[in-house]
Amino acid sequence: MSLRLDEMKEIARRFVIEPWEHGHVDVLDEVCAPNYKVGHDGDIQQLKDAILKTRVSFKNLKVTIHDMAAEGDLVAYRWTMTGIFEKAFNGVAPTGEEASNTGITILRFENGKIVEDQYESSSDGVETPST
CA distances in angstroms from 96 to 58, 84, 118, listed in the order given: 9, 6, 30
Give residue 131's pLDDT. 53
> Is 128 part of any domain?
no
Domain that holds residue 94: 5-123
3-state SS, residue 93: coil
Number of domains within the chain: 1
Q: What is the domain-level CATH number for residue 65? A: 3.10.450.50
Give residue 128's pLDDT. 54
> Is 129 part of any domain?
no
Relative to beta strand 32-38, strand 113-123 is parallel
* pTM of the predicted protein model: 0.90
Contact call for residues 127 and 102 (beta carbons, < 8 A): no
Average pLDDT of the chain, as a whole number: 92
> Is 130 part of any domain?
no
Q: For residues 29 and 36, give the distance between their C-alpha atoms in angstroms, rounded to a whole number.
A: 10
The continuous run of DSSP H or E covering 49 comes out as helix 44-57
> Is 92 part of any domain?
yes
Give residue 86's pLDDT. 96
Q: What length is written for the chain?
A: 131
> Is 19 part of any domain?
yes
